[in-house]
């Protein structure tokens, strides 16, 4: 069952994530109120490009750190993380500029490098079960972003470029704080390269981030289709609906993150699997309540908070609500598979989702525009969630009979 310590960490994480969601929505409101739907559209593409490049850097800075830090120590993980982050960020930014020339190339590179270092520390805290440090940094970054945006807007006022400058300064501030917290957690980290460790972490991290890449396509490919077929204004409006939808996932993400950390420590026990089932049920109940609260609000509220261009955001959230519920349930199971090293199941469900997303968006967005993007996203979330939950229950009752497990040759 769920231990007292896990319940405490879960509650604290939900509270911190709720705070993060509120601050993130305040950031969104700041952008939309002062720079409108077009400015929000450009900011959305910047974050999407950053997220895409970060998936590659995360091979050595994210889940692999959490998984291996107790096994090999932080010193053997930091050097390879720094080298990989620099190389992959540089290549990723150059490719991004080549395919879509933009004026924030240098800012994107700096953001990628800083994000990789922040991710390393956060992953280390998860692996060491220092959840309070993880939560602290997670709250500080968007809060500092909001403060710096306000500062720049009232001083240099460089338009939506204020966001880029503020984002970089917020990351630098978080890294300074993380440096002291990490020294307190694991002591001074010495740079050590161990190629046997590198091979192990790459294998684990690559499988996890391969899943993340295809999951990125599921959740963010619509952004690029909307820009291509419509414009940045439409993307700005759509992205606000997505931001609200994903803010509701704070419950499932908080629960799954704590479960992930606990399973890494305790192992794949029967008690852990029972905790996953209970947590998934709690997640979907509380998420459903949050969705209802959002949907009963009058649409004029959204226009008041984000600006008159965004009064139809409620309609986007309504169309996205089935997908929100599907993901809130299945996220818990996804982190369970990650914690026990069954990464290929996550890759499979993400690949299926990405293929469906591409094919459906290609035909539907030109006809249904933003409505089509919402419908496709919800449908794909349903299919992906069904795959991962089905595999969990097959493996739980009959570990050798899960069709995906047999096909992928895990054992």
pLDDT band at 409 (very low <50, low <70, confident <90, very high): very low
Is the pTM value of this prediction over 0.85? no
In this predicted structure, what is the pLDDT of residue 404?
Answer: 41
- pLDDT digits over 335-388, tens only? 888 888 787 888 888 899 999 999 999 999 999 999 999 999 999 999 999 999
In this predicted structure, what is the pLDDT of residue 272?
Answer: 78
Gyration radius (Cα) of the chain, Å: 21
Query: In Å, what is the CA distance from 16 to each residue of 127, 132, 388?
Result: 18, 9, 27
In this predicted structure, what is the pLDDT of residue 373?
Answer: 93
pLDDT band at 222 (very low <50, low <70, confident <90, very high): very high
Report DSSP state, residue 160: T
Instruction: Specify the long-range contacts of residues 84-90, CB closer than 8 Å, at least 24 apart.
Output: 84/57, 84/59, 84/60, 85/57, 85/60, 85/61, 85/112, 85/113, 85/116, 85/117, 85/120, 86/113, 88/53, 88/56, 88/57, 88/59, 89/53, 89/57, 89/113, 89/116
Are 388 and 333 within 8 A, CB to CB? yes
Question: Rounded to an integer, what distance in angstroms lies between the CA atom of residue 326 and that of residue 381?
Answer: 6
Matching residue, tokens 């720079």: 35
Most confident of 37-41, 167-171, 255-259: 167-171
Work out the angle between the directed axes of helices 131-153 and 105-127 (0-180°, nearest 10).
160
pLDDT band at 405 (very low <50, low <70, confident <90, very high): very low
pLDDT band at 292 (very low <50, low <70, confident <90, very high): very high
**What string of DSSP letters covers 233-286?**
HHHHHHHHHHHHHHHTTHHHHHHHHHHHHHHHHH-S-HHHHHHHHHHHHHHHHH
Question: Rounded to an integer, what distance in angstroms lies between the CA atom of residue 176 and that of residue 229?
Answer: 42
Question: Rounded to an integer, what distance in angstroms lies between the CA atom of residue 279 and that of residue 70?
Answer: 25
In this predicted structure, what is the pLDDT of residue 403?
Answer: 38
- pLDDT digits over 49-59, tens only? 999 999 999 99
In this predicted structure, what is the pLDDT of residue 91?
Answer: 95
In this predicted structure, what is the pLDDT of residue 400?
Answer: 39
* Tokens linked to 297: 């609000």
In this predicted structure, what is the pLDDT of residue 129?
Answer: 79
- Coil, strand or helix: which one is 74? coil
DSSP-based helix, strand, coil % in the chain, nearest 5: 85, 0, 15
Q: Phi, psi at residue 256, to the nearest 5°?
A: -65, -35
- Among 195, 64, 38, 43, smallest CA distance to 123 is for 64
pLDDT band at 411 (very low <50, low <70, confident <90, very high): very low
Instruction: Give percent of the chain above pLDDT 90.
Output: 36
């Amino acid at each position: 069952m769920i231990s007292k310590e896990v319940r405490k960490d879960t509650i604290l994480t939900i509270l911190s994530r709720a705070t993060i969601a509120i601050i993130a929505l305040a950031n969104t409101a700041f952008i939309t109120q002062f720079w409108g739907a077009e400015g929000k559209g450009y900011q959305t593409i910047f974050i999407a490009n950053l997220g895409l490049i970060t998936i590659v850097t995360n091979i050595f800075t994210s889940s692999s750190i959490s998984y291996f830090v107790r096994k090999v120590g932080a010193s053997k993980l930091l050097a390879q993380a720094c080298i990989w982050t620099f190389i992959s960020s540089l290549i990723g930014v150059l490719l991004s500029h080549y395919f879509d020339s933009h004026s924030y190339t240098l800012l994107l590179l700096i953001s990628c490098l800083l994000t990789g270092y922040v991710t390393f520390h956060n992953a280390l805290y998860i692996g060491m079960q220092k959840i309070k440090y993880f939560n602290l940094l997670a709250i500080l970054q968007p809060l500092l972003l909001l403060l710096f945006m306000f500062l720049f807007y009232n001083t240099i006022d460089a338009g939506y470029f204020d966001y880029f400058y503020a984002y970089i300064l917020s990351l630098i501030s978080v890294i300074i704080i993380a440096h002291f917290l990490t020294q307190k957690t694991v002591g001074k980290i010495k740079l050590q390269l161990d190629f046997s460790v590198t091979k192990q972490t790459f294998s684990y991290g690559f499988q996890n981030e391969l899943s993340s890449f295809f999951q990125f396509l599921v959740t963010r490919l619509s952004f690029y289709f909307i820009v291509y077929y419509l414009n940045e204004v439409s993307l700005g409006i759509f992205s606000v609906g997505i931001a609200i939808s994903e803010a509701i996932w704070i419950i499932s993400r908080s629960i799954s993150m704590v479960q992930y950390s606990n399973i890494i420590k305790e192992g794949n026990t029967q008690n852990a699997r029972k905790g996953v089932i209970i947590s998934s049920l709690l997640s979907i109940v509380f998420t459903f309540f949050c969705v209802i609260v959002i949907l009963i609000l009058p649409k004029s509220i959204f226009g008041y908070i984000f600006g008159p261009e965004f009064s139809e955001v409620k309609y986007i959230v309504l169309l996205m609500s089935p997908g929100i519920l599907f993901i809130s349930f299945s996220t818990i199971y996804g982190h369970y598979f990650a914690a026990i090293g069954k990464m290929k199941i996550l890759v499979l469900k993400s690949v299926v989702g990405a293929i469906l997303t591409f094919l459906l968006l290609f035909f539907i967005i030109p006809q249904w525009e933003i409505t089509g993007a919402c419908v496709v996203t919800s449908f794909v979330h349903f299919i992906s969630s069904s795959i991962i939950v089905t595999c969990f229950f097959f493996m739980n009752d009959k570990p050798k009979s899960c069709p995906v497990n047999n096909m992928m040759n895990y054992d």
